[in-house]
Structure 1
Amino acid sequence: MSKLKPSPLPADTLIGGYRVVRRVAAGGFGVVYLALGPDGQQVAIKEYLPASLATREPGALSPQVPAEKLSLYRLGLKSFFEEGRSLAQISHPSVVSVMNFFRENDTVYMVMNYLEGASLQDYIITARDLKQLKVFRESTIRSLFDEILRGLRIVHQHKMLHLDIKPANVFITDDNKAVLIDFGAAREVLSKEGNFIRPMYTPGFAAPEMYRRDSTMGPWTDIYAIGACIYACMQGYPPNEATQRVPTDRMVVALKRLQGVYSDNLIEVVQWCMALDAQARPQSVFALQKELNRAGERQYTRLSVGEKVRMRFDDMVEGTKKSVIKATDPGNRSP
């Protein structure tokens, strides 16, 4: 029998002056709640609650952690707290805004602005189902990732890495902003200390070095994931897992089929970002931005990201959109 997931906090629970309304998402590393602040403002609260290390009975507030897992739980807790501290220093429309973070109930909570809209993953799935030659227009892809990279560049300037960039963690809001959510600092710390590296990462979007304990990660690690996201926007599906690309790299063949559908430049950008050798990738977001915005390649009307993405779905029902923030690890569900 599989282990039961820790129970979420009950509705109306008060934590740090915020009142829990309901759970909106849950994953292997935590739970996200819709909550109300003292002024009645809606916020999203992310709770550190790794299912592999802790349990919690229905109605209880504090997690129960077995003695043999306590040191690892505390290590992740510290990393999660430091992540909140670092994100609170970043103010950029393309990075999830952390308004507050605090310790309570033997865990840590991160208070973020509540986002309404849909994830890039939702849009990819909808666009793919239209079965047209192009999943997204090239102009849409370039516009979208130009905005995402502006936010990621600020993150890297603050000496942080995202470590879990994928379409489910790119949120397109109702007011036309593309926002990076669900950073993976605690996930990375636990993977290096524990014996369960593979479940930490989303297949297809994780760089090869994320599977090796002795490897160095840096901006190039997030850049691999950016390339994988662009690939998903072109193909409608994620690329093969990095470990499967070593013996036979089918990604190259798949991209060749897109020649004439997308520009050679965009195809080359994806191949550059997703090089198996970390040193062969762009070493900085700036280098990637420079290529993605190269004169002659980026010719299109400057619409907002939301407007360009939604151009694909004028004939789709409004019910496709979802008003949730996937700001915790949503597992390995991929487009």
Structure 2
Amino acid sequence: MACFQLMEGAGPTCLYCGWKEKIKNEFPSALPHGVILQQRYLIGRVLGQGGFGITYAAYDLQHSTRVAIKEYFPIDIARRNPNKDVETTSDGYQELFQYGLQRFQDEAGSLARFTRHPGMVAVYDFFHEHMTAYLVMQYVEGKTWMKIIEENGGRMGVDSALGILIPALDALQAVHEVGMLHRDISPDNIMVLPNRQVKLIDFGAARYAMKQQNQEFSIIFKPGFTPEEQYRTRGNRGPWSDIYSISATFYKAITGKIPRDAMNRLEKDTLTPPSRNGVSLSPSIEHALMKALSVKGENRYQTVREFKEALLQPLDKGYQQGTMDNNKTPAWLWIVGFVMVLVLIKLIT
């Protein structure tokens, strides 16, 4: 129920993927293993559960392939009854539940536009069952950016980090161009596949829509990665909000440190540039990063295109001049050369 390989022997541990089925279910709200949805999708282990939904590993019996299925399950206001149906914990939450369900459906429709985009997880299907909704997506195997950072001793080189950041920015730019925001970018929500393909995962737009609709609905903010405007009900959110989060992710990757929480930076900003943390990078890249991490949204880049251009522009003149000065020919060699030219001219004449 993890990798869906045929097991040819007794034992609690899978010989293929090493997964061991636990005696106690760590996700009591989840559908049990073996449930079949739409007479087609076999539900396996839980890949993750957040405040808004549960994601399962599943098997498409029709196409004999693994998929991932996300179930709409707002944990603050929902529960599962004995018939496996999802219901609200009280009648007073019905309107909020339906509002969130519509946002979940809208988000699924928007994500379906990017099925062929290399930086996005493909969406295959969407349906209603058990009084809720399900989104069927591409199953991706790989490592999160956070996992890669950890495997590199807590930080990584600037060039290697840019190799992940730039493809992620390309995907984010496509999302913004159709009027969507991600709202939940962090090193845990950027996946790197074995072929080095980078994908954005786990969008949070619908979660924030529910929070705006009802302040009782809880959202776990990610300190250091969440811009200050997302903490506020009427904060001015836009592409610059995602730019802050993905820049904080890049900062974490190259420095090994999570930026100080944006709300704590409002009164006094003590965020130090990467170069002061021992990171070797060009002044132009550092300037672009620190601008993208400005506390106030109006001081950041307003579009991903602007941010990418700043990151990829040629080294600034000061940096180039410094490099040239370090490599210039010593003065005494110029003098010797000049004298030799004079001697040569004298001999010729």
| TM-score normalised by structure 1 residue count | 0.81
User: Paired residue for 1:167, among 184, 187, 191?
Assistant: 187
User: Paired residue for 1:14, among 27, 33, 36?
Assistant: 36
Aligned residues: 287
Q: Distance in 1 between matches of 2:172 and 2:216?
A: 27
Higher relative contact order (Cα pairs below 8 Å, separated by 6+ residues): 1
Q: 1:73-222 alignment to 2 at 5 Å?
A: 73-90=97-114, 91-129=116-154, 135-196=155-216, 199-222=219-242
> SS in structure 1 opposite 2:233?
coil
Q: 1:173-322 alignment to 2 at 5 Å?
A: 173-196=193-216, 199-252=219-272, 255=274, 257-258=276-277, 261-296=280-315
CA contact (8 A) 2:51 2:219 kept: no
Q: Does 1:64 align with 2:87?
A: yes
Q: 1:49-60 alignment to 2 at 5 Å?
A: 49-57=73-81, 60=83
Question: Deviations for 1:177-209, whole angstroms, at most 9, x for unmatched residues?
Answer: 110000012111111122247734211111111
* Aligned residue type for 2:138: N
> SS in structure 2 opposite 1:22?
strand
Q: Distance in 1 between matches of 2:83 and 2:196?
A: 39
Distance of aligned partners of 1:60 and 1:123 in 2 relative to their CA distance in 1, 3 Å threshold: farther
Q: Distance in 1 between matches of 2:125 and 2:221?
A: 27
| TM-score normalised by structure 2 residue count | 0.78
Q: Distance in 2 between matches of 1:238 and 1:128?
A: 15
CA contact (8 A) 1:34 1:43 kept: yes
> SS in structure 2 opposite 1:89?
helix
Distance of aligned partners of 1:272 and 1:224 in 2 relative to their CA distance in 1, 3 Å threshold: same
CA contact (8 A) 2:41 2:58 kept: yes
User: Paired residue for 2:70, among 25, 46, 63?
Assistant: 46
Question: Deviations for 1:73-122, whole angstroms, at most 9, x for unmatched residues?
Answer: 11111101110001001131111211111111111111110011110011
Q: Distance in 2 between matches of 1:269 and 1:6?
A: 45
Distance of aligned partners of 1:100 and 1:81 in 2 relative to their CA distance in 1, 3 Å threshold: same
Distance of aligned partners of 1:243 and 1:260 in 2 relative to their CA distance in 1, 3 Å threshold: closer
Distance of aligned partners of 1:239 and 1:258 in 2 relative to their CA distance in 1, 3 Å threshold: same
C-alpha deviation, 1:262, in angstroms: 2.5
Q: Distance in 2 between matches of 1:75 and 1:115?
A: 29
> SS in structure 1 opposite 2:64?
coil
CA contact (8 A) 1:171 1:179 kept: yes
Q: Distance in 2 between matches of 1:161 and 1:222?
A: 7
CA contact (8 A) 1:102 1:110 kept: yes
CA contact (8 A) 2:51 2:218 kept: no
CA contact (8 A) 2:181 2:239 kept: yes
**Cα-Cα RMSD:** 1.9
Q: Distance in 1 between matches of 2:217 and 2:264?
A: 16
Question: Deviations for 1:153-180, whole angstroms, at most 9, x for unmatched residues?
Answer: 1111111110101000001111221100
Q: Distance in 1 between matches of 2:256 and 2:195?
A: 25
C-alpha deviation, 1:48, in angstroms: 1.0
> SS in structure 2 opposite 1:83?
helix
Identity %: 31
Q: Distance in 2 between matches of 1:208 and 1:178?
A: 27
C-alpha deviation, 1:6, in angstroms: 5.4
Q: Distance in 1 between matches of 2:55 and 2:160?
A: 30
